[in-house]
Structure 1
Amino acid sequence: MKGSDLINSKLPDELLFDIIQRFDGSKSDCDAISLVCKKWMRIEAIPARRNHQDHSGCQPLSSTERIRRSYPPPAAVIPRLSPKKRRAHSSEHHQVNENSESESELESFCLSDAGLSSLAIGCKDLEKLSLIWCSNITSLGLKSIAESCRFLRSLDMQGSYIGDQGLTAVGQCCKQLEDLNLRFCEGLTDQGVVEFAQVCGKALKSLGIAACAWITDKSLIAVAAHCTFLETLSLDSEFFRNEGIVSIAKSCRSLKALKLQCINVTDEALQVVGSLCSSLELLALFSFQRFTDRSLLAIGKGCKKLRDLTLSDCYFLSDKSLEAVASGCTKLTHLEINGCHNIGTWGLESIGKSCSGLLELALLYCQRIGNSALFEVGKNCSLLQALHLVDCSNINDEAICAVAQGCRNLRKLHIRRCYEIGDKGLIKVGENCKFLTDLSLRFVDRVGDDALVSIGQGCSLRYLHVSGCHLVTDIGLTAIARGSPELTYLDISVLQGIGDMSLAELGEGCPMLKDIVLSHCRQITDTGLSHLVKGCAQLETCHMVYCPSITSAGVATVVSGCANIKKVLIEKWKVSQRTRRRASSIISYLCMEL
């Protein structure tokens, strides 16, 4: 009818955005769309700004990819904020972003209840839905999904402000739901979880709850009563106490994975878990300051199937805990000890002697663990594939040599700030660990060219991180470039001995390189970048801030020479107007005023 708008007034923005995305992206189509009205022109322009793969037109994205990109999860841990404060925090974030203008336009395309309703109508067979940090979604939108998508099996609502009514609707309609994530869902209370458990508990196998101030032991008691087939439980809250955990342990005998960060849980709860949850395979305990070795003694005695154990900031655990685990849980394959300052050499020796099937070992901030612990690992754990060491001041080259000689299946070795480890240990790794593909040596001051030459001759790496290893020069990196043709990631930041020769060797020997970090490399110039770009056609990201010999010409070379480039991190003043016009969407600025 003349004078009426039957499209803009009826269709939500996200649905109109979806329709426009389905055009083939030809220039004539884009021009025609832009001429309809200002709203259509603004919507049509969004894909062009966001397209990182084809700068000449609009490349359609899948529905799930559009939803994911429209509201990405934050890179850092999000503080617990009220909805009003969270939106204010989000607004402040957009204001400081260098692309704040386009981000503010994209903000209107964040998934809302209207968009979720449209999704529900068109995808009735939906089985998996992720609404991570979708703060515009309410119970109304979730209810539309529940009523239409009755085959839903997995629902992730992390960071979404969903109320009890929405969760209850999911329970009433989605009887096959197996996986539910409620982390940071601050609008939920015990009422919603209890009602959900009562009507949909039989199918639930996995549940995650974190930072929900109104969810307490009452919810866990209801889950225990109705979700008897629960296999995975992850809890992070100060509002849970022993009663809820004990109820779960008594009723959910099929429990296989338990992750707890609950400062008010004590030995009583873990002892019940140890005595009743014989099927437990994974246990992760974070920041426990109210329980002692008695908990791990019970776990070691009752959980014979335990394979994966993480102990982080558990200050009152000692070597007795590891000895109990070692004697009772001989099938252990993954062990992480992080900041448990009372655990020392003796405890890890017990693990090395008893757990011959160990595949991954992580020792983070373990100042009391010494060489003899890794001697036992090297002697008995021949299947070890991954070793992580961070700030372990009592571990030196002798321990690394023992691991290298005994664990020849090693595929991943990450060492950070272990100042007693140097070339000697890494040379043995190169000579013995032929399957090594992932090597990270961050700020390991004593590692130099001899180590990398040995690694380059003996291993074909795919991932290498040697940031802060000041003794590494072009000689070591050349050996890596010639011996690792499948290298895809490289970080050589803060290395003053690296120059253009290394980049030329990388360009010639590593055609699969996708990500490179060159920041703070003072000897690298535009010439080196041109050699790198010539051979590494698959390059996607390049970080090169604080490289004084790189100019705007070098930046232009990277942008124009790499068809797949998605991100270039550089100082703003080094980007010419022409480069900015051509590739503004892929350029990021670390320091805008330099």
Structure 2
Amino acid sequence: MRGHDLINTCLPDELIVEIFHHIESKSTRDACSLVCRRWRRLERLSRSFIRIGATDSPDLFVHLISSRFSNVTTVHIDERISVPLPLSELVKKPDKGASSSSALKLHYMKENNGSTSAEGDFDSLCLSDAGLSALANGYPKLQKLKLIWCSNVTSKGLTSLARKCVSLKALDLQGCYVGDPGMAAVGQCCKNLEDLNLRFCEGVSDKGLVELAVGVGKSLKSLGIAACAKVSNITMEAVGSHCGSLQTLSLDSEFIHNEGVNAVAKGCPNLKALKLQCINLTDDALEAVGVSCLSLELLALYSFQRFTDKGLCAIGNGCKKLKNLTLSDCFFLSDKGLEAIATGCKELTHLEVNGCHNIGTFGLVSVGKFCKHLSELALLYCQKIGDGGLLRVGKGCKFLQALHLVDCSSIGDEAMCAIARGCRNLKKLHIRRCYEIGNKGIIAVGEHCRSLTDLSIRFCDRVGDEALIAIGEGCSLQYLNVSGCHKVGDAGLIAIARGCPQLCYLDVSVLQNLGDMAMTELGEHCPLIREIVISHCRQITDVGLAHLVKSCTMLESCHMVYCSGITSAGVATVVSSCLNIKKVLVEKWKVTPRTKRRAGSVISYLCVDL
């Protein structure tokens, strides 16, 4: 009834807060908080996650946020992410009737950001120890904290936070120059810490990490270390001695050798995920993993130049539960190593082979023969793998859902036909610069893979309209990328438009035969498009662009550089017709002053001076 607030009268605070907990959309929650003061207060109480980008006064911003949202347990601060407005626009000078909290904001800003020197201005742009202390004071029940590239945070601030936030479970310090005292404080105070990421933490050394391992060894489950020059085998030995519950380890270091990994393998038998990019490791390290880490499910090996099939055979013999394997730039691996994995790890579901030039067709045949549960396969820069490998995969891996092929010059239409006929549950197919794959293979995919929703065929110059017509008739795509397939024209895209009304993403860049007719059909039949790339399409004009944006009201991103048929009028049409537009990439000279005033914040320039 008009004039009666039945919701606020009947529902208690606890029930409204519970309703807010079930609203996932941030925009919807923000809208709910504007209904009335009570809803705003309760919505703030229901918030458990806060994400903060770069601001001009981050310490003040953290102070203000902590005073408004009191029940937050997860904070993510990333100083690589910019925000549209400086904090000075958000904090206004209080009026006569302003609350005391507004005066407190100005007082805090004056006391903590009063420096006028150039150095002070620069420091004020980065979160400091003062901001971290304010965070600790505001959220003593904090459980998860990410500080990404907060370069002004030191051990002093981390120590203050560790002493107050003793319930901390996850800590990410990527790019923060914290030192050993901070790590030691975390080890002493945060006994429930489970997840620690120390990528690019150059100030951390063995001393601090040994103290941390001793302090949180019983709870630590995940550890990531990368580009920490002062971290060596000593830390790994401490992890192996004290962190028996460790399940995930990621190492990227030139200072860690076999002894360190051996100690972790022997001391952490519950290890499930291991990612290594350590150039000084040899087969001995992998043999230790194969013998001791029998629960291993994920293994990723990057840029290994000192181990051979011997190490991979040890993994195949011991790690029977392995499901996910990545081999990237491992130059001395051959078909023998991959065969050992296939015969020993029959539960394998994800396999990526990237730049391992000695792995060929025979190794992939073994995978197709023994790994019946394979659901994702990526072959990148594998010149020695031919059609025979994918023929066997198509015959044996009925559950394959994703296939990625990049620069595999020996794979052609015969292999694609086998995949299409055998792997009918295929949902994602990404192909790039595989010049032997043409219309025949893609037509087979359209005829047999009815579940395909994600198709990317980039710079495959034998694929033309016939292939896309078959895809349009047989599949309902949501994602399509045919960039650089110069034989594709209006006919193919019209078939896609009419057959794939759920299309959300489209990249047709560098298609010289594509014109306004295709844009018109896309506008009529694909209203859900959010991102489109039409760069270097010379036959698309303002007319086609106008037809596209007329119905595609959900468009958020449009790239259209080097389109000679599109003028400043077309650019103006896009920014004026698409209310949800967030990014327009175009030449600077095509943006009029009026368009810049209207949508300057969403316009990006590829070549500023042209």
Give the alignment's TM-score, normalised by structure 2. Answer: 0.81
Letter paired with 2:548: L
Letter paired with 2:292: L
| 1:410-441 Cα distance to aligned partner (Å, 9 max, x none) | 00000000000000000000000011011111
| 1:466-497 Cα distance to aligned partner (Å, 9 max, x none) | 11000000111111111111111111111111
Letter paired with 1:139: S
Deviation at 1:20, TM superposition (A): 7.8
CA contact (8 A) 2:67 2:138 kept: no
- Superposed, 1:238-317 pairs within 5 Å as 238-317=254-333
- Superposed, 1:524-543 pairs within 5 Å as 524-543=540-559
CA contact (8 A) 1:457 1:483 kept: yes
Partner residue of 1:43?
87
Deviation at 1:109, TM superposition (A): 3.7
Deviation at 1:549, TM superposition (A): 1.3
Unaligned runs of 5+ in 1: 1-11, 25-40, 49-90, 92-103
Partner residue of 2:439?
423
Q: Say which of 582, 601, 605 aligns to 1:585.
A: 601
Is 1:462 aligned to 2:462, yes or no? no
Partner residue of 2:450?
434
CA contact (8 A) 2:63 2:131 kept: no
Deviation at 1:512, TM superposition (A): 1.2
Letter paired with 2:324: D
Is 1:337 aligned to 2:357, yes or no? no
Letter paired with 2:215: V
CA distance in 2, matches of 1:20, 1:417: 51
Letter paired with 2:271: L
CA distance in 1, matches of 2:562, 2:249: 45
| 1:85-111 Cα distance to aligned partner (Å, 9 max, x none) | xxxxxx9xxxxxxxxxxxx99984432
Letter paired with 2:225: I
| 1:481-537 Cα distance to aligned partner (Å, 9 max, x none) | 111111111111111111111111111111111111111110111111111111111
Partner residue of 1:349?
365
CA distance in 2, matches of 1:21, 1:198: 34
CA distance in 2, matches of 1:323, 1:385: 22
Deviation at 1:131, TM superposition (A): 0.8
Aligned residue for 2:336, secondary structure, equals helix
Partner residue of 1:98?
none
Q: Say which of 388, 391, 396 aligns to 1:375.
A: 391
CA contact (8 A) 2:241 2:267 kept: yes
Aligned residue for 1:516, secondary structure, equals strand
Is 1:160 aligned to 2:204, yes or no? no
Is 1:403 aligned to 2:419, yes or no? yes
Q: Say which of 58, 70, 81 aligns to 1:14.
A: 58
- Superposed, 1:123-202 pairs within 5 Å as 123-202=139-218
CA contact (8 A) 1:304 1:328 kept: yes
Deviation at 1:44, TM superposition (A): 3.5
Is 1:508 aligned to 2:524, yes or no? yes
CA distance in 1, matches of 2:152, 2:132: 10
CA contact (8 A) 2:59 2:127 kept: no
Residues 547/222 of structure 1: CA separation in 2 closer, same or farther (3 Å cut): same
Partner residue of 1:86?
none
Partner residue of 1:210?
226
CA distance in 2, matches of 1:455, 1:23: 54
Deviation at 1:17, TM superposition (A): 4.3
CA distance in 1, matches of 2:193, 2:227: 22
CA distance in 2, matches of 1:47, 1:392: 56
CA distance in 2, matches of 1:21, 1:396: 57
CA distance in 2, matches of 1:367, 1:277: 33
CA distance in 2, matches of 1:244, 1:336: 26
CA distance in 1, matches of 2:556, 2:139: 34
Q: Say which of 568, 571, 587 aligns to 1:552.
A: 568
CA contact (8 A) 1:184 1:210 kept: yes
- % of aligned pairs identical? 66
Aligned residue for 2:148, secondary structure, equals coil
CA distance in 2, matches of 1:499, 1:21: 50
Residues 106/526 of structure 1: CA separation in 2 closer, same or farther (3 Å cut): farther
Residues 247/394 of structure 1: CA separation in 2 closer, same or farther (3 Å cut): same
- Superposed, 1:443-454 pairs within 5 Å as 443-454=459-470
CA contact (8 A) 1:468 1:495 kept: yes
| 1:7-39 Cα distance to aligned partner (Å, 9 max, x none) | xxxxx9335446889999xxxxxxxxxxxxxxx
Is 1:483 aligned to 2:499, yes or no? yes
Letter paired with 1:150: V
| 1:232-260 Cα distance to aligned partner (Å, 9 max, x none) | 00001110100000000111000001110
Partner residue of 2:509?
493
Residues 160/442 of structure 1: CA separation in 2 closer, same or farther (3 Å cut): same
Partner residue of 1:32?
none
Letter paired with 1:543: H
| 1:516-562 Cα distance to aligned partner (Å, 9 max, x none) | 11111101111111111111111111111111111111111111111
Residues 105/555 of structure 1: CA separation in 2 closer, same or farther (3 Å cut): farther
CA distance in 2, matches of 1:130, 1:520: 40
Residues 556/105 of structure 1: CA separation in 2 closer, same or farther (3 Å cut): farther
| 1:112-149 Cα distance to aligned partner (Å, 9 max, x none) | 22222211111122211111111121112222221222
Residues 18/204 of structure 1: CA separation in 2 closer, same or farther (3 Å cut): closer
| 1:246-295 Cα distance to aligned partner (Å, 9 max, x none) | 00011100000111011100011111111111000011111111111110
CA contact (8 A) 1:46 1:106 kept: no
- Superposed, 1:46-85 pairs within 5 Å as none
Letter paired with 1:43: L
Letter paired with 2:514: I
CA contact (8 A) 2:461 2:484 kept: yes
CA distance in 1, matches of 2:91, 2:600: 14
Letter paired with 1:186: E
Letter paired with 1:429: V
Aligned residue for 1:404, secondary structure, equals helix
Letter paired with 1:540: E
Deviation at 1:309, TM superposition (A): 0.6
CA distance in 2, matches of 1:467, 1:193: 48
CA distance in 2, matches of 1:280, 1:454: 42
Q: Say which of 225, 229, 238 aligns to 1:222.
A: 238
Q: Say which of 373, 377, 380 aligns to 1:364.
A: 380
Is 1:412 aligned to 2:456, yes or no? no
Aligned residue for 2:574, secondary structure, equals helix
CA distance in 1, matches of 2:132, 2:484: 47
Partner residue of 1:522?
538
Residues 166/453 of structure 1: CA separation in 2 closer, same or farther (3 Å cut): same
Letter paired with 1:312: S
CA distance in 2, matches of 1:216, 1:474: 59
Give the alignment's TM-score, normalised by structure 1. Answer: 0.84
| 1:337-383 Cα distance to aligned partner (Å, 9 max, x none) | 01111111111101100001000001101011111111110001000
Residues 46/559 of structure 1: CA separation in 2 closer, same or farther (3 Å cut): farther
CA distance in 2, matches of 1:105, 1:188: 27
Letter paired with 1:405: R
CA distance in 1, matches of 2:330, 2:91: 48
Q: Which has the higher contact order (CA 8 A, sep 6+)?
A: 1
Unaligned runs of 5+ in 2: 1-55, 69-84, 93-118
Between Structure 1 and Structure 2, how many residues are aligned? 513
